[in-house]
A and B are shown apart, each in its own frame.
Chain A
Amino acid sequence: MNKLFLYLVARFNPLWVRYGVDPKHLLTILEAKLTMDGRRKSAFSFSQHNKNKELSGQDWILIMMMTLMGLLFSIFAQLLVHPASGLVIYFSGWIMFIISTLIVDFTDVLIDVRDNYILLPKPIKDRTLALSRILHVVIYLLRIFIPFNLVMTIIVAYKLGVLAMLLFIVLAFMGLLIGVFLVNLLYLVLIRFSTPQRFKAIVTYFQMFLYTFSIVGYQLVPRLIDYTGLDQQNLLENRYCWAIPSTWLAAIWEWSIAGVHTSTISILALAGLLFPFVALYFITGSLTKSFSERLFALASGGSESQPRKNKRLTGTTPKYAWMNWTARWACSSAAERSAYELSWFISGRSRDFQLKFYPNLVLMPVYFFVFFFFQEAGDFSKGMSLFILYASAITLTSTTYFIFFSDRFKAAWVFISHPINVPGELTMGAFKAMMVKYLLPAYLLIMLLVCVLDDFGLLDDGILAFLLSLSIYLPLMMSYEQYLTFSRPWEDVSKGNNTIRGLLGMLGAALMGLLHYFVSPYPWVIYLAIILAVTACYFGLSAYRKLGWERIRNLG
């Protein structure tokens, strides 16, 4: 596939030369970048590609997912009576998909600071470097272009013929250029108006938002849209839509295929024709130059920004008073407290941890809102409340599993090199930190909302649901391979029968929930069950705390 792309790029060599680009250098850089892409760890997966395989099984799954997404947008577009309105929706989805893919999966490539040390000292023209960056992104997106647009292309070809199909392909490609431009613009603005450290943080939060949205969005969005009359609307006549680039692309379609040549459609179509090319000119010109310059500041550790005075990010600042107070209360040994504080710090500061953990943490509350707020009035039952409580408790508890993984897993030598007698104290400290910092507050919030919206009598049920879920999860967690805190690479998350463990946990919670539902009319049974569950949790946590070195697997 890479060879095909390089061959295609080489066909335009005379054009590149005329543009002031060295085609030999351009192809050399692209070849290396595409080879690296093939071996890069994707943000969509936990695993890394094989050396000699351009397309792994996981890639095929991704291709299928993109085709499915394209199919969904195609169907949606077909539901609208006015074809150009359907295209506005379709191209909006396509451009949004490009933007989110670039931000979630390609940011590290776009802001690869190694380029400054490897490529900048070499005799490469600025334009060559700029164009190589653009073509690299475009080639990356072309892999998405084909599966996403396949269904719609077939539909257009079937309904309107080959010429319309060709126009559609051109418009989709222009949409791709617009997406690339918008991401470049966004990054340039972020780099320009924030410090490099802030830039990294903003991109991380943006990635987390998009990642979370991709997980839960399909549940929320269809419920939030009011479809009434939408199928009859002509979005090209809607003034608010005139500001959206996808409307301009749809206007080109309306002008050339439907033959509507009103002044509004003509202006919108002209904007659509010009925008991608003007954007491309800006990207390869001034934008990329500024981008590289600012990127250099990023590469040199952001030394342009002044150090923040009087701001000590240590565990003794007021910011960590809550951590210190809870650590004193929750930890019974120095080792436990060390792991507690370390987990607290890393979970708040490590980008890779936040990217993996937060979406899973947010998942349950979003489901909760979906279940609650989109129920028809009167539909809500105690069974549903218990379902939400148990589902939340078990999924939240199971996210503690993330404390074993880190990109910096080799730093866990610190645990091995110190005289720690019982490693269970470390894992317990980390487990408690996650409980206190994230899981208990999240669960309390959910429980409170359930009580407010349903019945405050559910308070004891909520407590029991959490304790029972914890008592189910603890033996499950101990029944498998044990690791030290932050000592394994993220690739290992999907190893070790974790899926089976997750399913068993869900099954156990479902059974407990069912039993709970049947005994819920008898409060004394609930209180008795709480006492039993507290005892079970106590013994479970004690056993977990006593975990010896013989159960711990070596560092990753």
Chain B
Amino acid sequence: MEPIIRIKDLSKYYGSKQVLHNINLDIQPGQVIGYIGPNGAGKSTTVRILAGMDADFKGEVEIFGLNVKEHALEIKRRMGYIPELAELYEVLTPREFLLLVGRLHDLDDELILQRAGQMLKVFELSDNLDERMDTFSKGMRQKVLLVSGLLHNPELIFMDEPLSGLDANAVILVKEIISSLAEQGKTVIYCSHNMDTVEKISDRIILIAHGQVVADGAFEELKQNEGDSLEHLFSQLTGHSNFDEAAKGFTQSFTQQKPDHE
């Protein structure tokens, strides 16, 4: 099967600082990919490159068999992107915002409103369709953001911390939605710091640290012992294991003497 995403020697620099180091990946369609890594590892940078938002990189990236630099428009038509922060035009209402997003994907207004209505109903936001989003809670905005990323029925979906700000019920719902999307043959690239969720929903986990892929495979393949969790694996592979001592050092600060200069 042809990979839906093919990344070859991907490198990215910010000024003289290299943040991605020769990343090579092939991603098959219909998979949920857990893309994880510590803060500043390069996850969001990779996603922005794949989503066609940053063309300033070295290497080759192909999505749907198309070069991302040359065919950005075609790729964007078939993919959805849900950013890390709830970036919305808050002074608009969900109806206005989703009409904007849907029309940019060339959907008819009728279809946009029908889909948006149905999706927002699932998220219990039907009654808020005509309220300005600057009055919404973080969770409500996140739900609108999720709907906006999925409205045009994309084949490939990039989700950067999609559960941010959601309550427990909404988290369960979104996890089910992701599984359901995968069942429909869609590919989901899922970035998160929530290891528990990544472990449960991902078919394949890619762990990135310091701009390099340090682990790649199904969780069952990656874990070394039967009782291992992804959290444990994550800390081992990213070089952080002495949490007990660190925690003790933290609490010991209460009992330390005052510094001389105070």
Interaction A to B: yes
Binding site for B on A (CB under 8 A): 24-25, 28-29, 31-32, 35-36, 39-40, 51, 114, 116-125, 293, 296, 300, 303-306
8 A Cβ contacts from B219-260 to A:
none
A325 CB to nearest B CB, Å: 15
Q: Which residues of A contact B89 (CB under 8 A)?
A: 32, 36, 114, 118
* Bound-complex Cα distance A481 to B114 (A): 49
* Bound-complex Cα distance A307 to B52 (A): 27
Q: Which one of B17, B77, B85, B103 contacts A24 once the chains associate, using CB atoms below 8 Å?
A: B103
12 contacting pairs across A/B (C-beta < 8 A): A28-B103, A114-B87, A114-B88, A114-B89, A117-B53, A117-B81, A117-B87, A120-B52, A123-B74, A123-B104, A123-B105, A296-B54
A121 CB to nearest B CB, Å: 4
Further contacts, 4 of them, CB under 8 A, given A114-B87, A121-B81 = A32-B89, A36-B89, A36-B91, A303-B19
Q: Does B137 contact A (CB under 8 A)?
A: no
B104-118 near A? 1/0 per residue, CB < 8 Å:
111000000000000
Q: Which one of A31, A120, A123, A306 contacts B53 once the chains associate, using CB atoms below 8 Å?
A: A120
Q: Which residues of A contact B39 (CB under 8 A)?
A: none
Q: Does B83 contact A (CB under 8 A)?
A: yes
User: Which residue of the partner chain B has the closest CB to A124?
Assistant: B104
* Bound-complex Cα distance A80 to B56 (A): 54
- Contact across chains for B105 and A122 when beta carbons are under 8 A apart: yes
8 A Cβ contacts from B52-80 to A:
52-54, 56, 73-74, 76-77, 79
- Contact across chains for B105 and A39 when beta carbons are under 8 A apart: no
User: Which residue of the partner chain A has the closest CB to B17?
Assistant: A306
* Bound-complex Cα distance A363 to B76 (A): 52
* Bound-complex Cα distance A40 to B92 (A): 10
* Bound-complex Cα distance A306 to B16 (A): 8
User: Which residue of the partner chain B has the closest CB to A51?
Assistant: B132
Q: Does B51 contact A (CB under 8 A)?
A: yes
A323 CB to nearest B CB, Å: 17
Q: Does B203 contact A (CB under 8 A)?
A: no
- Contact across chains for B15 and A305 when beta carbons are under 8 A apart: yes
* Bound-complex Cα distance A296 to B45 (A): 12
Known A123-B73, A305-B15; contact A35-B104, beta-carbon cutoff 8 A = no
B182 CB to nearest A CB, Å: 21
Q: Does B101 contact A (CB under 8 A)?
A: yes
User: Which residue of the partner chain B has the closest CB to A118?
Assistant: B87
B107 CB to nearest A CB, Å: 11
Q: Which residues of B contact A29 (CB under 8 A)?
A: 100, 104
- Contact across chains for A122 and B132 when beta carbons are under 8 A apart: no
A15 CB to nearest B CB, Å: 21
Q: Does B96 contact A (CB under 8 A)?
A: yes
A276 CB to nearest B CB, Å: 30
B89 CB to nearest A CB, Å: 6
B1-28 near A? 1/0 per residue, CB < 8 Å:
0000000000000111101000000000
Q: Which one of A24, A117, A304 contacts B15 once the chains associate, using CB atoms below 8 Å?
A: A304
Known A28-B100, A28-B103, A124-B104; contact A39-B132, beta-carbon cutoff 8 A = yes
User: Which residue of the partner chain A has the closest CB to B56?
Assistant: A293
Q: Which residues of B contact A114 (CB under 8 A)?
A: 87-89
* Bound-complex Cα distance A121 to B103 (A): 14
- Contact across chains for B76 and A123 when beta carbons are under 8 A apart: yes
A320 CB to nearest B CB, Å: 16
User: Which residue of the partner chain B has the closest CB to A40?
Assistant: B91
* Bound-complex Cα distance A303 to B83 (A): 17
- Contact across chains for A32 and B96 when beta carbons are under 8 A apart: yes
Q: Which residues of B contact A28 (CB under 8 A)?
A: 99-100, 103-104
User: Which residue of the partner chain A has the closest CB to B74?
Assistant: A123
- Contact across chains for B73 and A121 when beta carbons are under 8 A apart: no
B105 CB to nearest A CB, Å: 7
Q: Which residues of A contact B53 (CB under 8 A)?
A: 116-117, 120-121, 296
Tell me which of B52, B100, B105 has the highest count of chain A C-beta atoms within 10 A of its own C-beta: B100
- Contact across chains for A306 and B52 when beta carbons are under 8 A apart: no
Q: Which residues of B contact A120 (CB under 8 A)?
A: 52-53
Q: Which one of B15, B52, B99 contacts A121 once the chains associate, using CB atoms below 8 Å?
A: B52
Q: Which residues of B contact A123 (CB under 8 A)?
A: 73-74, 76-77, 104-106
B41-54 near A? 1/0 per residue, CB < 8 Å:
00000001001111
User: Which residue of the partner chain A has the closest CB to B76?
Assistant: A123
Q: Which residues of A contact B14 (CB under 8 A)?
A: 303-304
* Bound-complex Cα distance A36 to B93 (A): 10
Q: Which residues of A contact B81 (CB under 8 A)?
A: 117, 121
* Bound-complex Cα distance A29 to B17 (A): 35
* Bound-complex Cα distance A123 to B74 (A): 7
The 4 closest A-B pairs by CB, nearest first: A117-B87, A121-B81, A123-B76, A28-B103
* Bound-complex Cα distance A304 to B16 (A): 8
* Bound-complex Cα distance A78 to B15 (A): 54
- Contact across chains for A24 and B106 when beta carbons are under 8 A apart: yes
A126 CB to nearest B CB, Å: 9
* Bound-complex Cα distance A172 to B85 (A): 42
* Bound-complex Cα distance A339 to B232 (A): 43
User: Which residue of the partner chain B has the closest CB to A119?
Assistant: B104
* Bound-complex Cα distance A304 to B14 (A): 4
Tell me which of B51, B96, B100, B104 has the highest count of chain A C-beta atoms within 10 A of its own C-beta: B104
Q: Which residues of A contact B97 (CB under 8 A)?
A: 32
Known A120-B53, A123-B73; contact A39-B83, beta-carbon cutoff 8 A = no
B46 CB to nearest A CB, Å: 13
Tell me which of B19, B74, B87 has the highest count of chain A C-beta atoms within 10 A of its own C-beta: B87
Q: Which residues of A contact B73 (CB under 8 A)?
A: 123-125
Q: Which residues of A contact B48 (CB under 8 A)?
A: 300
Q: Which residues of B contact A119 (CB under 8 A)?
A: 104
A308 CB to nearest B CB, Å: 13
Tell me which of B19, B48, B52 has the highest count of chain A C-beta atoms within 10 A of its own C-beta: B48
Q: Which residues of B contact A39 (CB under 8 A)?
A: 91, 132
* Bound-complex Cα distance A24 to B103 (A): 8
- Contact across chains for B88 and A25 when beta carbons are under 8 A apart: no
User: Which residue of the partner chain A has the closest CB to B104?
Assistant: A122
User: Which residue of the partner chain A has the closest CB to B78?
Assistant: A123
Q: Which residues of B contact A117 (CB under 8 A)?
A: 53, 81, 83, 85, 87
User: Which residue of the partner chain A has the closest CB to B86?
Assistant: A117
* Bound-complex Cα distance A332 to B16 (A): 49
* Bound-complex Cα distance A29 to B85 (A): 21
Q: Which residues of B contact A125 (CB under 8 A)?
A: 73
User: Which residue of the partner chain B has the closest CB to A293?
Assistant: B56
Known A36-B91, A123-B76; contact A306-B15, beta-carbon cutoff 8 A = yes
* Bound-complex Cα distance A14 to B116 (A): 32
